[in-house]
Structure 1
Amino acid sequence: MHLKKVVIFLTGQTITAFGTYLVQYAIMWHLTLSTKSGVVLALAAIFGFLPQAIVSVFAGVWADRVNRKLMIIVSDSTIALATLGLALLMLSGVKDLWLIFLVMAVRSVGSGVQMPAVSALVPQIVPPEKLMRVNGINSSIQSALGLLAPVAAAAVYANVSLEAILFIDVITAAIGLSLFAFVPVPTLARAAQKDKPSYFTDLKEGISYILGNSLVRWVMAIFAIVFLLIVAPSNLSPLMLVRNFGTEVWMLTVLELAFGVGMLIGGILISVYASKVDRLGAIVVTSILFGLLAIGLGFTTNLIVYYSLFLVTGLIVPVFTTSSFTLLQETVEPERQGRVFGFIGIVMSTAMPLGMALLGPLADFYPVELLLIITGAITVLIAIVAILLPSGKRAIASAHASTGVKADKAI
């Protein structure tokens, strides 16, 4: 029964995500080709990410107060209807930028609502001993879509139109929602209560829980560090490639493919060896590796080595994210997971843009390789200090006590 539910859920999520990826690529290409404006692309990034960060504050609380399945269905349906409206208006000749930005904002809000709900729902349909494996499989699927979607989007956009891609997204959403409707998801007892605490009481309790729980606080801090000091600088890697190795398009394409293939392999490995992985140990080791790889990217002068380091970076991304999410799913009470993942969503959607806001302008005055070396070294230092501090030791002890893993277990 559990296997059937998981298969249907992952199939529906995969179909829906495919349409989402298509639209993301197609809209950015459309704005780039039709406006050739850096300001427009900057506004697109704001409308695409800022609403998600803002709504995550509220979505996490909602995920602990209402039926999570219904929450996902409503958010997905809203995204699909907004996309359908944009497609119909564009077909009628209305192609104003404000309309595209509005729909991007609606889609961003929907994503912000979905993220904590989906992350908190997975443990409700997956047995605890299978969580790591299922999360690894899902990571592999997302990585595969990341490789396939740009190719598919390019083919459709080049031969048909943006409107066609928008309609494809609506169709994939309808199929995904239809499959998800057949997945039985129990309503948490807390969500079914009529006399629940007020919304703001729940929000305050969630913040207090995160600040007072050494493990959750530690994982969230590591997430912030990695997204601020590693994910943001890694977005400057194509700039370093162009400056140091060449401006040919195929070079940039290979760089993206190397990262995507690495993520796909990493997701497969984590799903195969899930039972042998110490979650917290994997978080620590991958955090340090992220820093070392960034330093390596900064020092390398060989293109093949550069690609290889980027592939390895992609390979350990699923290990880091899957271990982090699984650890939280295993240790946080079901009634609080929505709020915890809501704040994780905030960290993920704000740390990277903040890092880019700080490092992007610096890349115009200093070599990208220098920025990679500095941020990589800081990441390694912080990761090591994080496990030596009393709070880090308490987090490690808490993680091992919750998951039943011995402290000296190897990854």
Structure 2
Amino acid sequence: MGVIARLTWFAKWISLIGDVWFATALIWYWSSTLHQPYILSLLGLAFSLPGILSLFFGVFADRVGGKLLIVSSVWAQALICAGVALAVTDRSRVGLSITLVLIGTLGVLEAIRSNAISVVMSSFISADLRAQFIGLLHSVQSGIQLAARFFAASSLIWLSIQDIALIDCLSFVIAGILYIFLPVPLRKLPSSNEKYFRRSYVLDIIEGWKVIRTDGLSLRLLCVLLLSGPSMAVISGYVAWRIERNLHASSWWYSLSISMEMVGSMGAALLGAKVFRRVARRFGVTWIFLLDFLFMGISAFAMGFFNRIWVIVLCMCLVGVLQAGQNVVAPAYVLASYPKEIIGRAAAVFSTVEAGTQAIGSACMAICAKLLPVPWLFVGAGLLLVVSAPVIFIKLKIKLVTSPTYKNV
């Protein structure tokens, strides 16, 4: 792996440690100290809203790019995280509002940094290294999330929430130091056919959307991402209810099922990145997308249809593997399929749809939960994905939808 990939990977890994640790500890801290459950919903909104706005950040990354945008965003995150440490223990309305705004700002800067890294990767990292980079990054992220579920809440026994926020701040500082040594230009060098600052953001976004529309496979991937929202929402939001209220199992089984999801995701990303890439190069990414979303729907269906705890545990492990496949193949396909000049806004379209899908899916499940039993939520969401995935990816003449770049991963 090249120097750019190594530095980017380690910096992202270090910042993730502090970020996931603090986010998980904060949810537990507010759950145990506040008597206002809606605050947790506002916290979830603060985490997800920047992803919905990612489309504009992609244009910004395309225009500026380079090391300057990455370094400035991560150092700004460090400063804001220090502010969070000062405000997080204030449980008044003003204190909570300030904390939520600062956390939302952290998410905005994270989205900017992620899009800027995508631009750097498309310009300076080869296709072979991209797949390896994405696979390693996803496996480490899954491992961090796995550890956070076990240790973040319990760490409040010997550390205060302010201490954990300061550790998060320190992780951004270390990442910022590493990013300084990236051997890339401070700013993106404009090409002869680009007129960055003479056009509006809206026109740039429209241009990126038009390019995506010309690629039939990308357009269908966006469609299936939208339809996968209910499945992902029901899996992430109602597994605990399904295990405790429907199957009357202990919380140990819930911890095991969530852990198995992370284990499957981490193992598949770490060991399967090259396998995913070989399959995609030989048969095309369409097969991976089709089977991935198809089995995602089958998993959701099985968790609602079968009243067996071991079925849920196995399905959660499979869901982790499938999510790893999506997170490895889809970014590699996007980075390899679009011109470097618009890669930021193209990647941002997918990020925006993914974030919006989670919000839409959660809203749909909140409405359906008032009308249907929880097991039927799993069954319905699973059937939606099982039916829609083949319809979206297979043509009427029983041919897979492809694109000129469907093997470029």
List runs of 5+ in structure 2 lacking aligned partners: none
- Aligned position for 1:205: 207
> Does structure 2 retain, via aligned residues, the 8 Å contact 1:240–1:369?
yes
> Does structure 1 retain, via aligned residues, the 8 Å contact 2:299–2:382?
yes
- Aligned position for 1:218: 220
- Aligned position for 1:4: 3
Within a 5 Å distance, the mapping from 1:143-154 to structure 2 comes to 143-154=142-153
Of stretches 353-362 and 167-176 in structure 1, the one that deviates more from structure 2 is 353-362
Matched, 1:283 2:285: no
- Aligned position for 1:134: 133
Cα distance, 1:175–1:191 mapped onto 2, change above 3 Å: farther
Letter in 2 for 1:377: L
- Aligned position for 2:230: 229
Matched, 1:267 2:269: yes
> Does structure 1 retain, via aligned residues, the 8 Å contact 2:69–2:116?
yes
Within a 5 Å distance, the mapping from 1:195-344 to structure 2 comes to 195-196=195-196, 197-200=198-201, 201-226=203-228, 228-235=229-236, 236-246=238-248, 248-278=250-280, 279-344=285-350
What's the CA shift for 1:373? 1.3
Of stretches 110-119 and 138-147 in structure 1, the one that deviates more from structure 2 is 110-119
What's the CA shift for 1:303? 1.0
> Does structure 2 retain, via aligned residues, the 8 Å contact 1:386–1:392?
no
CA distance in 1, matches of 2:140, 2:123: 20
List runs of 5+ in structure 1 lacking aligned partners: 405-411
Superposed CA offset, 1:83-131 (max 9, x none): 1012234589988211211212111212222332223332333211232
Secondary structure in 1 matching 2:248: coil
Secondary structure in 2 matching 1:403: coil
Superposed CA offset, 1:117-155 (max 9, x none): 223332333211232222111111111111122334234
Cα distance, 1:388–1:205 mapped onto 2, change above 3 Å: same
CA distance in 1, matches of 2:195, 2:342: 17
Letter in 2 for 1:58: F
Matched, 1:73 2:79: no
Letter in 1 for 2:326: F
Superposed CA offset, 1:260-289 (max 9, x none): 111111112322424422133211111111
What's the CA shift for 1:325? 1.0
Letter in 1 for 2:296: F
Cα distance, 1:91–1:312 mapped onto 2, change above 3 Å: closer
Letter in 2 for 1:100: T
Letter in 2 for 1:218: R
Superposed CA offset, 1:207-248 (max 9, x none): 22223332322222222222x132112122222112222263
Q: With structure 1 as the length reference, what TM-score do the two structures score?
A: 0.90
Within a 5 Å distance, the mapping from 1:45-124 to structure 2 comes to 45-54=44-53, 56-89=54-87, 96-124=95-123
Cα RMSD of the aligned pairs, angstroms, is 2.5
Cα distance, 1:394–1:68 mapped onto 2, change above 3 Å: farther
Letter in 2 for 1:88: L
Q: Could you tell me the percent identity over the aligned residues?
A: 20
CA distance in 2, matches of 1:357, 1:194: 40
What's the CA shift for 1:169? 0.6
CA distance in 2, matches of 1:383, 1:285: 8
CA distance in 1, matches of 2:298, 2:337: 29
Aligned pairs, how many?
400
